[in-house]
Structure 1
Amino acid sequence: MKTKIALITGGYTGEAEVSFKSAAFVQAQLDKEKYEVYPITITLDTWFYVTEAGIKISVNRENFSLDIDGHIVTFDVAFIILHGSPGEDGRLQGYFDMIGLPYTSCDALTSALTMNKGYTKAIVRDIQDLYVANSVLLFATHRSDAPHIVQQNLTLPLFVKPNAGGSSIGMSKVKASSDLQVALDKAFDAANTGAQVLVEEFVTGREFSQGIFRNAEGELIVLPATEVRTTREFFDFEAKYVAGLTEEITPADLTADQQERASRIIRDIYVRLNCKGMVRVDFFLETGTDKFYFIEINTIPGQTAQSFIPQQVRALGMKEGDFYAELIEAAISSAPKLQK
């Protein structure tokens, strides 16, 4: 009997467009002889599945089932490929925990925590050989006085970004004080990101992104790193998703010592944050010091053919379909059993 997969996509933010592309790629890679895949779209208004005949079927939210022509479809596991809220911030994970449906991502607490960049930095900052840039976390109550707070505590240039956003939406690099207010307003007003803003001092160096996952046997596997070189001011939304603006080198050109150190740091981050499934850690290697600076962790990384994780999976010598199968089997085998 095939394993029934609810492939979760869509979402409440501007990242929904990327989620649809990621989910389509994952579905194309999964073994159709082994898995029966149902793409489930989640929006602010509705949760639904579209049949091959084009009929939209609403999800029964009581038990996350579908009624297709009188046949009730339930699922063995949810494969969450929903970037941003509610798939990356713990909301869906909490719901799935309550109904007892296994899922492929980090749990509700870790997802909610890691969606908050400022809180995450506070937890990982004492990991050996990992550094974090000086920063301030601004809440809505700070908005009127935000430029003054930033200028009192930090030195230009700065990165200004929504504290709970993704895909660099609402993010700016600020090199002059006169540009700070516009950048702060842009970050505060980014949709569905919690009206919190993180402002960090700029770190000069090479930028990398590196994935890690736990396989069906429970082993932690660190993927090869990707170096990001962009013609843009920084790795913003356009740099991530417009062809030709960024060069991505996988595997990255790192020394043996740098590879070993990065691998150890990423494993420590994964364990410290109690991650599950696959995650991706972004970091800088500072020019002149060889120090690794933490940028952020992404618990639902992009999964288009050009995305970092698929690149790294291929560099490891693994097929994407086998990689996704590992995540599915690990989620099913490690799922807690509800006591009734």
Structure 2
Amino acid sequence: MKKNIGVVMGGYSSEYKISLKSGDVVCKHLNTDKYNVYPIHLLKDKWVYIAEDGSETPINKGDFTVTVNGNKIEFDCVFNAIHGTPGEDGYLQGYLELLNIPHTSCPMYQAGLTFNKRDCLATLKPFGIKCATSYYINKGQEINEDEIIAKVGLPCFVKANKAGSSFGVSKVHTKENLATAIETSFKEDDEIIIESFLDGTEVSVGVITYKGEVTVLPITEIVSENDFFDYEAKYQGKSQEITPARISDEMTQKVTEVAKKVYTTLKMKGFSRSEYIFVDNEPYLLEVNTIPGMTAESILPQQATKAGITLNDLFDNAIEEALNQA
């Protein structure tokens, strides 16, 4: 009997449009011989199943079911394609776990931890994971620009602590631009992290559980046409994403080991994509993403393709892993 798979997409953050694209790609590549596929939009004002004709049917939030033509549909598994809240920060994971519905993302705690850049980096540093020097500010707190610059230097990066797709991120070259960058970040989150600039080769490393084994995918080198890997560079073609990365075998081995260590140390499951910058041939962790983009042009699917894993296989494996852990 075919499994009912709900593919959730959208979300409540600035990333919702990107998530809708990821979810659509997942729906198109799932094996309809094995699965009944239900595209589901989770938006601030509605949770709805989108039928082929574009009609919308509300999701019952009490048990995460949908009634179609008088039939109540229960989901055997949920494929989570939501970037940002509530799909990447632990809220959806906790909800589904309380309902005993398997899902393709990492567990609630890991999602919440990795979505919080400050907490994630603080957790990993004692395990020997190298990170940039950082400074934290909460909204309403007094801002001492001289103190910030004395700690992290210039240029530096000002980031919203809990946001993705480079929303709320600025590269600051002068003290005069620091206040504006902080204000921009606070539009996305009430916590920010300011990090020292690391000058070196940037790479992205996908790590997944594939057929029961923690698997590091081929590494991607990021070459941005802009000042850094911002929204334009990520989604509007203003970057080169080169897989495999043009780095030495030694650098490849180092970042592969670190990425796998991050995944296992955090007790991750499902997908992850972590970003690093090499300084003196040593990889420094920038952040960990647990719901990476899933379009054919997105980095992790590109890496999977290089590893000989098709999108169909990648998505099918995610569902199988989730069902096996249930």
In the aligned structure 2, how far is the partner of 1:257 from the partner of 1:145? 41
- CA deviation after TM superposition for structure 1 residue 317, in Å: 1.2
- CA deviation after TM superposition for structure 1 residue 146, in Å: 4.7
- Residue 231 of structure 2 is matched in structure 1 by 237
- CA deviation after TM superposition for structure 1 residue 12, in Å: 0.7
In the aligned structure 2, how far is the partner of 1:119 from the partner of 1:189? 20
What 5-or-longer segments of structure 2 have no aligned partner?
Answer: none
Query: Percent identical across equivalent pairs?
Result: 36
Query: In the alignment, is residue 261 of structure 1 matched against residue 259 of structure 2?
Result: no
TM-score (norm 2): 0.97
Q: 1:174 aligns with which of 172, 175, 190?
A: 172
Question: Where in structure 2 are the equivalents of 1:17-166 lying within 5 Å?
Answer: 17-128=17-128, 130-142=129-141, 144-166=142-164
Query: In the alignment, is residue 296 of structure 1 matched against residue 287 of structure 2?
Result: yes
In the aligned structure 2, how far is the partner of 1:37 from the partner of 1:205? 43
In the aligned structure 1, how far is the partner of 2:203 from the partner of 2:127? 18
In the aligned structure 1, how far is the partner of 2:52 from the partner of 2:22? 20
In the aligned structure 2, how far is the partner of 1:89 from the partner of 1:149? 31
In the aligned structure 2, how far is the partner of 1:66 from the partner of 1:320? 27
- Residue 14 of structure 2 is matched in structure 1 by 14
Deviation by residue 1:79-128 (Cα, 9 ceiling, x = unmatched)? 00000000000000000011110000011111011111011111111334
- CA deviation after TM superposition for structure 1 residue 256, in Å: 1.9
Is contact 1:127–1:265 with CA below 8 Å preserved after alignment? Answer: no
In the aligned structure 2, how far is the partner of 1:237 from the partner of 1:88? 18
SS state at 2:64 partner: coil
The number of equivalent residue pairs is 326
- CA deviation after TM superposition for structure 1 residue 152, in Å: 4.1
SS state at 2:255 partner: helix
TM-score (norm 1): 0.93
What 5-or-longer segments of structure 1 have no aligned partner?
Answer: 336-340
In the aligned structure 2, how far is the partner of 1:146 from the partner of 1:31? 55
Is contact 1:8–1:81 with CA below 8 Å preserved after alignment? Answer: yes
Equivalent residue letter for 1:51: A
RMSD between aligned alpha carbons?
1.2
Equivalent residue letter for 1:206: T
Equivalent residue letter for 1:199: I
Query: In the alignment, is residue 215 of structure 1 matched against residue 213 of structure 2?
Result: no
In the aligned structure 1, how far is the partner of 2:29 from the partner of 2:53? 22
In the aligned structure 1, how far is the partner of 2:217 from the partner of 2:248? 16
| 4+ long deviations beyond 3 Å | none
Equivalent residue letter for 1:131: K
In the aligned structure 1, how far is the partner of 2:145 from the partner of 2:323? 48
- CA deviation after TM superposition for structure 1 residue 267, in Å: 1.1
